[in-house]
Amino acid sequence: MANTMTQRVPTSSSVPNPDALATLRPPLIAGDKQPADVTHDICAPFERGPTALWWVAFAVSFTTLVIGAIAVTYQIATGIGTWGLNRTVGWAFDITNFVFWVGIGHAGTLISAVLFLFRQKWRTSVNRSAEAMTLFAVMCAGLFPIIHMGRPWLAFWMMPYPNTRGPLWVNFKSPLLWDVFAISTYLLISAVFWYVGLVPDLATIRDRSPAGWRRRLASIFSLGWNGSARTWHRYETVYMLLAGLATPLVFSVHTIVSMDFATAVIPGWHTTIFPPYFVAGAIFSGLAMVLTLMLIARKVMQLEDYITLRHVEAMCKLMLSMGCIVGLAYGTEFFVAAYSGNPYEQFVFLNRAGGPFRWAYWTMVTCNVIIPQLLWLRGVRRNIALVFAISIVVNIGMWFERFVIIVTSLHRDFLPSSWADYSPTIIEVATLLGSFGLFFSCFLLFCRFIPVIAMAEVKGVLKSPHHAHEHESVKGDAA
């Protein structure tokens, strides 16, 4: 034993090979940018005014939003009977959309908080827009339960506060109430986190803008930022604390959404794997939406140097791993249904794969498990058009996942005489479209008025001119 131990001191062979380091640690930002270039490039789109393309996109999104608003007004005026629900399928399109949008809202906090704690520097190019997307997606999600109440003006009854309504009080035993707390906390923390991250960039806008409304607003919201070391120090402490607080929220929100189903005794809904399975699915769908939007933004706003193939690849790898986890969860549910010997469980899963909604089930499996496997190939991950197509496919697949879980578990219940079919009405489809209109309108406004990339953070990951010297010193020390 003693003989072998003598060789154990690192020798000169630990000098890093510069070529190897260049392969393993390629620069994050392309185009040899200086800090001033970053400010100029990121501020340019909103300083020069909207392009024709922006106006077209905004017109389309806003029109869709108006269609949705009309549909919502109609269904509230007429009643929830305008939906395609029946006595057996009492939950369908509305809650599918709710879960879909909550899921989309997950990648933002994952990228901004979890990847921050894991020191993944590539997040700096996408965190700002991913967080904005989170806020808009959670807003869209919140709409659906409120519409479902039928009398949305009484939505404040969900809040437990001393009131004069006698025995009317919220039910703390219901996961639907937990949703209220989980989602409102998530929205609040995400908004604060997003805003805190924005402060240094707002100060940059303040300093660049000529006197006028933009400068005045940026001045108010940058909270007197002066860029001193003390300011930065405090900023970084707050950012780190908020990241730590936001991380459990990535798990809690979709865990509680999953409990809306898993606390029921309905086969197909009640299964213990739901909490982590829903969280993985939410991150999966959120990453797909981030990719969809960022690939467009990258092209339209000429951000190719900031959102490089390396960023796209990293997101693809994360998406692939989440897709595999979701696939494993699908497999586990099937396996345990067979293993348990429970005929009701088995019926639900066989009915999913072979019953009247099999088209939805197989769409889900194809989109979420089979097609994303293409991302194992480096060539696919670096092909923007293909990645864009896969991200759209995953978005579709994840919508269908929620539809399959919700509708197929309900439509053939324990009593065959009450078996029913379900198809959405035009009102329900218009409401979904309207939520997309709201989401894209908000996102387009965000692109117009706020830097889509966190300038201050990107400047921190630029390859500095001193970089070469750093390597020299590392070499020397190691030797």
The residues of the shown chain that bind other proteins, judged by CB under 8 A, are: 1-2, 4-11, 13-17, 19-21, 23-24, 117-118, 248, 251, 255, 259, 262-265, 270-276, 317, 321, 324-325, 328-329, 331-333, 335-336, 338-342, 346, 376, 474-475, 477-478
Planar angle of CA 421, 425, 430, nearest 5 degrees: 145
Helices (H) and strands (E) in the chain, counts: 21, 0
- The rounded distance, in Å, linking the Cα atoms of 244 and 114 is 8
- The rounded distance, in Å, linking the Cα atoms of 306 and 465 is 18
CB of 232 to other proteins, least distance (A): 18
Nearer to other proteins, 24 or 36 (CB): 24
- The rounded distance, in Å, linking the Cα atoms of 45 and 205 is 12
Residue 192 DSSP label: H
Q: Which two tokens stand for residue 213?
A: 């409304």
Which one, of 307, 312, 311, 301, lies nearest residue 41 by Cα? 301
Nearer to other proteins, 328 or 353 (CB): 328
Per-residue CA distances from 148 to 80, 94, 307, 343, 461 (Å): 7, 7, 39, 33, 46
CB of 472 to other proteins, least distance (A): 11
Alpha helices in 25-92 (DSSP H): 35-47, 52-78
Radius of gyration of the chain (CA): 25
Nearer to other proteins, 89 or 250 (CB): 250
CB of 279 to other proteins, least distance (A): 9
Nearer to other proteins, 137 or 259 (CB): 259
Nearer to other proteins, 117 or 220 (CB): 117
Nearer to other proteins, 160 or 331 (CB): 331
CB of 128 to other proteins, least distance (A): 23
Nearer to other proteins, 303 or 390 (CB): 390
Alpha helices in 105-228 (DSSP H): 106-109, 115-117, 127-148, 175-208, 213-221
3-class SS of residue 368? helix
Contact 353, 361 (CB under 8 A): yes
3-class SS of residue 308? coil
Nearer to other proteins, 131 or 333 (CB): 333
- The rounded distance, in Å, linking the Cα atoms of 46 and 303 is 13
CB of 334 to other proteins, least distance (A): 10
Nearer to other proteins, 108 or 268 (CB): 268
CB of 380 to other proteins, least distance (A): 15
CB of 114 to other proteins, least distance (A): 10
- The rounded distance, in Å, linking the Cα atoms of 398 and 142 is 18
Backbone angles phi, psi at 159, to 5 degrees: -90, 125
CB of 338 to other proteins, least distance (A): 4
CB of 401 to other proteins, least distance (A): 16
